[in-house]
Amino acid sequence: MAERPQSPPLEGVRVVSVEQYGAGPWATLQLADLGAEVIKIEDPASGGDVGRYVPPYQEGEDSLFFETFNRGKLSVSLDLRAEAGRAVFEDLVVQSDVVFSNLRGDLATRLGLDFAALERVNPRIVCCALSGFGSTGPRAAQPGYDYLVQGLAGWMSLTGAASGPPTKSGLSLVDLSTGYAAAVSILAGLHRAQRDGRGCDCEVSLFETALHQLCYIGTWAATAGYVPERLDDSAHPSIVPFQNFPTADGWIVVACPKEHFWRSLCAALEQPDLLADERFADFAARFRHREELLSLITDELARRPAVEWLEILAAAGVPCAPVNDVAAALADPQAVAREALVEIEHPRLGTVRQVASPLRVDGARREYERAPERDEHRLDVLRRVCGYDDATIEDRARDGAFGAA
């Protein structure tokens, strides 16, 4: 058998990232967790990444929010508006594979973070810009945030109770999804640069990612004029039953996305008559008679506690799960078995427990490290990557490369 690889899959890839807050740092976190060296450029004039100051669990320039998005990265404070700072940035680009930014849509080009501006410095550089709305269109210069885009892209109209107001998702899923999309774009750009010997621009936006995530709902609406409606109990828009149900002491999720699961549910409920009822004969019939069927299932499930039903349904082969709170989810036996939580020691915050990367590539995994202090790695990066000696670093500092001298 061939030897298993002994290094993380992206070891040797270097990313220079002008990033802050959520979506951008989440994108490069995926690369860092896979072994890439991510050099985080922080603006000295603004105190660095605003994520450092997000409450709660925040002290000085450290926060658990910042730790979540920035573990394993290196930090260099650099003033890209200063001529000396730009010179240092370009020296980093010469020795890097990727330049990433998450700024307003028109800023990446204005700040010279795109391929057109950097090709002369490194013709193989892959430039990825993440923004709210992209670099063109009437919203290009507008700031974009997850909550705004959830409203704009139709997500809130799909979420919440039927009689309640439009509702955002419980997590910043637009930010997180766009971060993943950016990571995929970067990997595609790296492959093309390796294949063709020339870099490129990649562009992703919160808005377009959110539209893309409308998925089949978007197809139905664009093709057939489908108008979605909010359903109670987090019900699936077309498959019945596929939703939350109350039991005698808590909520569970029950899903029947295949006919054999429906048959298994009827057996588990000890309701064989449901199988013979023409109103529930197939997907389409159950959809038409949603209210009648859900009333019958709800009445039955209310007779026993959640743990009993989960045992009965699982034994019958029916897809089901408890509706956990976050603490219970992190303590689930599957999470424990898969070592989904990792511990990282931090000099100020103590032992930080956070969720491990879901990206598992056969072979060695990168050891998780804490997020950097602001400008912690200036000397290391400038000496090792740029080849600067101490005199050059002092000259750059005097000229304002790292903020006010």
The whole-angstrom separation of Cα 71 and Cα 90 is 25
Closest CA relative to residue 43, chosen from 70, 67, 71, 76: 76
Handedness of CA 17, 21, 27, 32 (dihedral sign): positive
State the DSSP code for 63: E
DSSP letter string over 354-396?
A: EEPPS---SS--PPP-PPPPTTTTHHHHHHHTS---HHHHHHH
Pairing of strands 320-322, 251-255: antiparallel
DSSP letter string over 323-337?
A: ---HHHHHT-HHHHH
Q: How far apart are the first and last CA of the chain?
A: 58
Residue 63, Cα to own-chain centre: how many angstroms?
A: 19
Task: Locate 399 and state its tokens.
Answer: 């000229």
Task: Locate 136 and state its tokens.
Answer: 């063109």
Catalytic residue, candidates 62, 79, 114, 175: 175
Pairing of strands 74-77, 37-42: parallel
State the DSSP code for 232: G
175 flagged as catalytic: yes
Q: Is residue 287 classed as helix, strand or coil in its secondary structure?
A: helix
Catalytic residue numbers, as ranges: 175
